[in-house]
Chains A and B, each alone.
Chain A
Amino acid sequence: MRIEELLSQFGSQYVRALLTTWELTALSAAIAFLLGTAVTVMRISPIRPLRRFGDFYVQIFRNIPGASLLILLVYALPYLDVVLSYRTCVLMAASLIPSAFCSEYLMAGINTIDPGQIEAARSLGMTFGQIIRRVVIPQALRSSILPMTNLLVATMLTTALASQVPLNPRELTGIVAHINTHAVGGVTAFLISAFLYCMTAVAIGQAGSWIDRKVRILR
């Protein structure tokens, strides 16, 4: 199928698919960041069971394949009398997995701080809250901009899982499967989606390195 034909027939669907991918990505990334932060707080807290739980959580969601998690949520959970909508399942899968990586990046960001800084801050008489707010968080956030950009791209790639469930409207991967099972879309249908994904990834990457240049700490 030629590109003009394809666009005249499916053009508006592509626009909706792109917006759906963006929406899923933004929502999942926001949830992933909140979850990841909460888990990181647990992992650096002095309460041992919470630390262990945080570590366990990260290991689970860092290592489970996305397809496996989505299948569990969609097909297995109803057997526990927990029935979630397809959209909720996709959002959960696309935010639980990145949340584990988010926590790993935050931990790495925290660990780039020289322990001597904490000791110095304490000997200046700063309280625990002050140390966290004024010494740890500013530095950890600044040094985790680039990993977070990568995380945002990874989250976008994870939202392709949505093509495995009947979601309406479809996202960029689902629409390629849809067009190719209902009409002969050929390579063009694939390339349009691939191009839209790539442009989004490049835009995210550019924005990330711009912010990183502004806030990076030169050591």
Chain B
Amino acid sequence: MRGAGLTVRDVLYEAPGAGTRKKIAVATAASLLLLALLLGLVIRQFAIAGQLDRKYWFFFARGTTWSFLGKGLLGTVEVAVVSGILAFAAGFFLMVGRISQSRISRALCTGIIEFTRGVPTLLFVYFFFLVAPQLGIRLHAFWKITLPVSISACGVVAEVLRSGVNAVPKGQREAALSLGMREGSVFLKIIFPQAFRVVIPALLSELVIVLKDTTFAYVINFPDLMQNASVLISNYDAMLSVYLLIAVIYCIINYLLNKAAEAVAVRGKEKGGAK
């Protein structure tokens, strides 16, 4: 029972006596009943509203439905991956600017980072959707969603990377400098690789936020998962079932990304502990 991974959640209660065990058993049964009742009520509401009807669900058995949704998902993934790469690149430069010796560059980069972190993605989306055309900037729909998503992520990426750089012990830099390496190559070859390894989980969590933000693609009619879902809805007149399914798909993808982040974090800790 008492493993190394003991958390407060596990030790909060002492081993229950006979009376407490009975109470817990009763509470367990009652809560099970309550949850079942809740589920039942939801299903009943579906049935009453006629949403369990075959016509709202039959098209999920068709291959064309899934290939169409798959195409949308591909659009979503494309936007997410390109945004992720852009945000990482921009975040890297912002981070370098923020830790540099020059006071101007520090102030500028801090300002940009705080700005991108304090403004909602939707406002950036509206900037590229409504304001940019007024300035004579014509962009493809793909960039109208990719740019705002990456802009609103780059500040967070910069801060995550900076926390990684700060986590690398000072001695590493001093040792490399005393070996005659130059400041720039010390950073690129010694400090950054270690910092990057530390922050992989945090970067994966940020990718979840990027993926969530791509759903705003429907604002500008870019064919992503959400947009293709609404086409499906107008074809089959099935609002509830399709949107429910889309939500589940997003949840599963993000859940898996979060799990991956946790797994990487645990592995990193084990490696660190083995030293």
Complex Cα spacing A163 to B130, Å: 14
CB-CB under 8 A from A64, the residues of chain B are 247, 250-251, 254
Question: Which of A47, A50, A110, A164 gathers most chain B CB within 10 Å?
Answer: A47
User: Is the CB–CB distance between B123 and A197 below 8 Å?
Assistant: yes
| Interface of B: prevailing SS | helix
Whether A63 touches B254, Cβ cut-off 8 Å, given contacts A46-B16, A157-B120, A187-B135, is: yes
A94 CB, nearest partner CB in chain B, Å: 11
B210 CB, nearest partner CB in chain A, Å: 11
User: Is the CB–CB distance between A46 and B122 below 8 Å?
Assistant: no
CB-CB under 8 A from A177, the residues of chain B are 126, 130
Complex Cα spacing A213 to B246, Å: 43
CB-CB under 8 A from A167, the residues of chain B are none
User: Is the CB–CB distance between A68 and B226 below 8 Å?
Assistant: yes
One digit per residue, 1 when the CB lies within 8 angstroms of any chain B CB and 0 when it does not, for chain A 124-154 equals 0000100110001000000000000000010
Instruction: Judge if A185 is at the interface, Cβ distance under 8 Å.
Output: yes
Instruction: Judge if B1 is at the interface, Cβ distance under 8 Å.
Output: no
Residue of A49, A65, A128 near B250 (CB, 8 A) is: A65
Residue of A nearest to B30 (CB): A47
Residue of A nearest to B16 (CB): A46
Interface residues of A in 14-50 (CB under 8 A from B): 43-44, 46-50
Residue of B6, B115, B123, B243 near A160 (CB, 8 A) is: B123
Residue of A68, A80, A153 near B240 (CB, 8 A) is: A80
User: Is the CB–CB distance between B45 and A72 below 8 Å?
Assistant: no
Question: Which of B13, B121, B131 gathers most chain A CB within 10 Å?
Answer: B131
Whether A197 touches B7, Cβ cut-off 8 Å, given contacts A67-B218, A176-B126, is: no
Whether A67 touches B215, Cβ cut-off 8 Å, given contacts A59-B251, A80-B51, A82-B45, is: yes
CB-CB under 8 A from B174, the residues of chain A are none
Residue of A nearest to B46 (CB): A80
Question: Which of B16, B211, B251 gathers most chain A CB within 10 Å?
Answer: B251
Instruction: Judge if A3 is at the interface, Cβ distance under 8 Å.
Output: no
One digit per residue, 1 when the CB lies within 8 angstroms of any chain B CB and 0 when it does not, for chain A 183-200 equals 011110110011001101
Interface range, B side: 35 or more
Whether A186 touches B131, Cβ cut-off 8 Å, given contacts A48-B28, A68-B250, A118-B12, is: yes
Complex Cα spacing A118 to B12, Å: 7
Instruction: Judge if A92 is at the interface, Cβ distance under 8 Å.
Output: no
Interface residues of B in 221-259 (CB under 8 A from A): 226, 239-240, 243-244, 246-247, 250-252, 254-255, 258
B145 CB, nearest partner CB in chain A, Å: 12
Whether A111 touches B7, Cβ cut-off 8 Å, given contacts A67-B215, A190-B123, is: yes
Instruction: Judge if A161 is at the interface, Cβ distance under 8 Å.
Output: yes
User: Is the CB–CB distance between A46 and B13 below 8 Å?
Assistant: yes
Complex Cα spacing A61 to B265, Å: 22
A6 CB, nearest partner CB in chain B, Å: 13
Complex Cα spacing A59 to B14, Å: 28
CB-CB under 8 A from B48, the residues of chain A are 81
CB-CB under 8 A from B6, the residues of chain A are 115
Whether A180 touches B215, Cβ cut-off 8 Å, given contacts A53-B35, A69-B247, A201-B117, is: no
Instruction: Judge if B67 is at the interface, Cβ distance under 8 Å.
Output: no
Instruction: Judge if B8 is at the interface, Cβ distance under 8 Å.
Output: yes
Complex Cα spacing A62 to B243, Å: 18
Residue of B8, B13, B28, B134 near A113 (CB, 8 A) is: B8
Instruction: Judge if A90 is at the interface, Cβ distance under 8 Å.
Output: no
8 more contacts with CB within 8 A, not counting A65-B250, A72-B244, are A49-B28, A63-B251, A64-B251, A82-B45, A136-B8, A186-B131, A187-B135, A198-B114
| Chain A to chain B contacts (Cβ below 8 Å), 29 pairs | A44-B8, A46-B13, A49-B35, A59-B255, A63-B250, A64-B251, A65-B215, A65-B247, A67-B215, A67-B218, A76-B243, A76-B244, A80-B45, A82-B45, A115-B8, A118-B8, A122-B14, A128-B13, A136-B8, A157-B120, A173-B126, A184-B134, A186-B135, A187-B135, A194-B118, A194-B123, A197-B120, A198-B114, A202-B114
Q: Which 7 A-B pairs have the closest CB atoms?
A: A160-B120, A201-B118, A63-B254, A198-B118, A180-B130, A65-B212, A67-B215
B-side residues, CB < 8 A to A, are 6-14, 16, 24, 27-28, 31-32, 35, 45-46, 48-49, 51, 114-115, 117-123, 126-127, 130-131, 134-135, 208, 211-213, 215-216, 218-219, 226, 239-240, 243-244, 246-247, 250-252, 254-255, 258
